A and B are shown apart, each in its own frame.
Chain A
Amino acid sequence: MTASAPAAHLAQLNVATLLHPFDDPRMTPFVEMLDPVNSAADGAPGFVWRLVEEGAADATGLRPAGENVIVNLSVWETQEALWDFTYRSGHLEVVRRRREWFERHVEAHLVLWWVRAGHLPTVGEALERLADLRAHGPSPRAFTFASAYTAAEAAPHLAAMRPAQPGQTTRSVRPAPAAGSAAVQVASTGAGGQARF
């Protein structure tokens, strides 16, 4: 069945609970790193798309998981590409200093899952994956770097998700060119919250 697995991209959601309000001077070093790090993400090998608030420079103003919780949602061609950006780019300096800015999470704060190439995950879908990981542990539906599954392993779940969420797959139904160029445009309009902790 997995022999004809569709082209897949890796989606990631990260949530981070702020220790201080975003405009607090103690947050300034983090805020100042957002633009350069997000620019680096846009140019990173394997980058596909990231969430940006409409009319804003990044996604840090969106607070779908709580008033003091910033979210970061992006899509990458491979897990290696995401890992290299997260931990082998200027982004590492952001995560190194995470304790200065963010609460330590007892529950999982990062979730990865495979999507069909061209599908741009919604925040709701992303939060569902995080809830899945927290409730059931790592699975092909929702996993972490340390407990990763391949796209082939997740292929049955890719297929299963489709009819279950018709509203969310409208963009993925349109194949690569349209969805792809839309993603690039969104990404190029400005920086987004690319930090993962």
Chain B
Amino acid sequence: MKDIDSIALLQDPVRRRLYEYVAAQGREVGRNEAAEAAGVARTLAAHHLDKLTEAGLLECASRRLTGRSGPGAGRPAKVYTRARVERSVSLPARDYRTAAELLAEAAEQAGLDAGLCAAAHRRGEALRGSAAPCGSLEEAMRVLAARGYEPHLEGAESADGVQAAEDSEGTAAGAPPVVRMRNCPFHAVAERFPPLVCGMNLALLEGLLGTDGPVRARMDARPGECCVVVENSKNNDD
């Protein structure tokens, strides 16, 4: 299916809600949960979730949600996650990705890390405009969400607390809260030129959030996530 056909499926408001809910969880979502979140019946949700899977927007797997196995455990349930593949449509056709890859390749060969980071920092500051440095992790979450980073709070008691606890099995209880991001907006070029592009991303976020305010951006890469985290400055003053 072409990208434009896959994306067009999201015009249906129920499908759109289901897709956005599954995408926002960053984990496997069952049919019941998705139906509840979208406010529709389970059978209707199942129909649309499978349509989204056929279109390549979601991926589907089978799990025994109860943790039991063998006779009496019941049938495996279908669970959904957002597909990793990128979909995009540009009208008229544009190809900024090829341009970005070529520019990154040239910058890497020429060793232009410092110049790129300076430009990224300036861009971040320009995006922030005349606003003061970001004042809190909550504000940082809003700013990052608006730029497509899909932030989530980890290691904190919050409305998202249960989710945060699930996500952070390696984090000791009482660890300072930190904002992590599920999505790298520069994924394709970051995969090809990690030090260059991840450094650019950090500099952009430092400019966007400020480097001398209450929160700060720091590199703390993990598989499958954005390389940067945002934390309260006082936690790491030394």
Contacts and interface: CB of A to CB of B under 8 A. Distances in A.
B223 A96 contact: no
Nearest to A94: B195
Interface in A2-27: none
Interface residues of B, number: 16
B221 A88 contact: yes
Contacts of A99: 111, 113-114
Contacts of A146: 192
Contacts, number: 39
Contact of A92 (B113, B192, B198, B224): B198
Interface in A80-138: 84, 86-90, 92-93, 95-96, 98-99, 104
B79 interface: no
Contacts of B219: 92-93, 96
Nearest to A45: B223
Contact of B195 (A84, A89, A90, A95): A95
A87 B221 contact: yes
Interface residues of A, number: 15
A90 B202 CA distance: 14
Contacts of B192: 146
Given A99-B111, A99-B113, A88 B195 contact: no
Nearest to A98: B195
Contacts of B199: 96
A197 interface: yes
Nearest to B200: A96
Interface of B: 111, 113-114, 192, 194-195, 198-199, 202, 219-224, 227
| A-B CB proximity, top 6 nearest | A104-B111, A87-B194, A95-B195, A92-B221, A96-B199, A88-B223
15 contacts: A87-B195, A88-B221, A88-B222, A88-B224, A88-B227, A89-B221, A90-B221, A92-B198, A92-B227, A93-B219, A95-B195, A96-B202, A98-B195, A104-B111, A146-B192
Interface of A: 84, 86-90, 92-93, 95-96, 98-99, 104, 146, 197
